[in-house]
Amino acid sequence: MRSLAALVLAACAGSSPPPRVEEPKPVVVVETSEASGIPAGYIDARPIEVAQLGERGALLLLDETTNMIVPIFIGGTEASSIELRMTGEAPPRPLTHDLLDNLVKKLGGSIVKVQIDALRDGIFIGSVFVRASGRVFKVDARPSDAVALAIGNRVKIYVAKAVVAEAGIPRDELMRQLAPSGTGPMT
């Protein structure tokens, strides 16, 4: 028995455990009424710019009722896509968000709205709502991707009030912080 245990331990000692694969979040079917109008506990936000902060970009979402800005740090590719969509410029070749837009349309669907739902351990959690086959589906998404899709499809962006309370910065304060860095004025 000892030799069997020793053999199993020796065999396992050289191998590493299998990599942890995160299961994809399920797509959730929501009530049609949930898909329209501002959800309870959320604010209507407007993207005002992608500010360059050193090597990183920050998507700035404005809550016009409180004049608070929620900055979300994003990657360079997402920043470029969002900036192109905000200015109405078309890239020379379709970017990932253009591909997603085209797929949704070809499958007979449409983007209904996007949400920034939570902030967990410094990570923003978002959702995209897609209408297809008479139903509305809520799909887990990175906020940068969700916002890029919202801008391209001219749909509303909603941010949870709890996210604004935790991550929001008064607009005037953020403008003072960004002024010395040479970023342009925020509209």
Q: Which residues neighbour 101 within 8 Å (Cβ) at sequence distance 6 or greater?
A: 111, 149, 152, 153
Question: Residue 100: inside a domain, yes or no?
Answer: yes
Question: Residue 142: inside a domain, yes or no?
Answer: yes
Q: How far, rounded to the nearest angstrom, does the alpha carbon of residue 175 sit from its chain's CA centroid?
A: 23
Domain of residue 130, residue span: 25-181
3-state secondary structure of 105: helix
Average pLDDT, the chain: 83
Q: How far is 99 from 105, CA to CA, in rounded Å? A: 10
Cβ atoms of 147 and 114 closer than 8 Å: yes
Q: What one-character DSSP code corresponds to residue 55? A: T
Cβ atoms of 134 and 178 closer than 8 Å: no
How many domains is the chain built from?
1
Q: pTM for the full model?
A: 0.77
Question: Residue 3: inside a domain, yes or no?
Answer: no
CATH code for position 80: 3.10.690.10
Q: Looking at residue 114, what is its pLDDT? A: 97
Q: Tens of pLDDT along 31-79? A: 554 556 789 999 999 999 999 876 778 999 999 999 999 999 998 888 9
